Amino acid sequence: MIIGVPKEIKPNENRVGLTPSAVAEFVHHGHEVLVQRGAGEGSGISDGEFIAAGARIVDKAEDVFEAAQMIIKVKEPQQKEIEMLREGQIIYTYLHLAPDRPQTLGLMEKGVVAIAYETIEVDGKLPLLEPMSEVAGKMASIMAAYYLAKPYGGRGVLAGGVTGVHSAKFVIIGGGTAGLNAAKVAAGMGASVYVLDINAERLRYLEDVLPKNCQMIMSNRMNIEEEIKDADAVIGTVLIPGAKTPKLIRYDMLKTMKRGAVIVDVSIDQGGCVETSRPTTHQDPVFEVEGVLHYCVANMPGAYARTSTFALVNATLPFGLIIADLGWREAARRYIPIAKGINVAYGKITCKPVAEAHGLEFVSVDKLLQ
């Protein structure tokens, strides 16, 4: 199979779909790999490193999309990239289709096979999402602490406080991978951390692994309302695989919060868990509503591109090799996780939460494979 790796064009997205070692693995399996010139620069990977691993460098994205049978990316295809796709072509990347109707319709119209990193599931876990959730969770607490500084619009509260002065209160909604890592960093800075989750068993686990300046609270509407009233920072990390994120913080709740408090909505890729959230970029990351700063960057790990690229490719490579070796149909027949990753195929939506989000017909992967 011919594998194509274009340069990411989403603003400030510096990650790349494959590393040189991953290229070498695809080549070892008998595949040809095309990499767009400069695709790895943002992650500190030179064209020479890709060439040494066996890749062929091509000048333009058009060259990659025209020749490749499978496109491997990081972020969802932008409109310009969707226009270059063709029927039957595989695109393997993060998609986050539930909140993105234009992309969903574009992929359907092109007749591609779109396989989403974020819905490949193994034993109830999302192994291709977890490494980026780690990065985003750790970043969330760093960004919250940064924007709490008065010059950046915050309350002027230091996360860890100092002797004789209260530390900041960090409220983390969602105790999954991102929430756990956000709590670790916030606790490490000395903040008072409160983690809310709907799963009592998960809260027991978090109680065991997190330090003593972290408290676990059952998540429900009343508890969220109470905890955010005196919070200095609120970090939303809620995730329902493949589906739009529920709005757990409503507009009217912002009026009860402290002026200069900070919200970091890590869930923004799936629509955000805050009613007032909207996607922002690393160039213009924050905005204010009712005196509360919102940080809603839709590709947070892109800021730490080298770490994120290598962590991501470690997770995506095994499944990518199976798809390339067997073709998407046989890979889906043999491996349920890959079948779960297929969101769109030949104009049909094959991920139920995506179909429900847009009010469109759902067709199971099994039916397509018959």
Catalytic residues: 96, 269
- Residue 164 CA to residue 308 CA, distance in Å, equals 38
Q: Is 290 left (phi over 0), alpha (psi -120 to 50) or beta?
A: left
User: Please, which residues bridge with residue 300 across strands?
Assistant: none
Alpha helical stretches, state H, 6-100: 20-28, 47-52, 61-67, 79-82
**Measuring CA to CA, which residue among 181, 101, 92 is closest to residue 136?**
181
Count of beta carbons in the 10 Å neighbourhood of residue 280: 18
Q: Which residues contact 126 (CB under 8 A, 6 or more apart)?
A: 118, 119, 120, 241
Structural element, H or E, at residue 348: strand 348-349
- Give me the helix-helix angle, 177-188 and 130-147, nearest 10°: 40
- Residue 261 CA to residue 170 CA, distance in Å, equals 10
DSSP string covering 155-201, please?
Answer: ----TT-BTTBPPPEEEEE--SHHHHHHHHHHHHTT-EEEEEES-HH
With 0-12 / 13-18 / 19 or more C-beta atoms within 10 angstroms meaning exposed / middle / buried, residue 36 is buried
With 0-12 / 13-18 / 19 or more C-beta atoms within 10 angstroms meaning exposed / middle / buried, residue 149 is middle
Q: Which residues contact 238 (CB under 8 A, 6 or more apart)?
A: 173, 174, 245, 246, 248, 267, 273
Cα–Cα distance list, 273 to 37, 46, 130, 206, 266 (Å): 38, 38, 19, 21, 8
Three-state DSSP at 7 gives coil
Enter the tokens of residue 244: 């739009």
- Residue 327 CA to residue 322 CA, distance in Å, equals 8
How far does the chain reach from its first CA to its final CA, in angstroms? 23
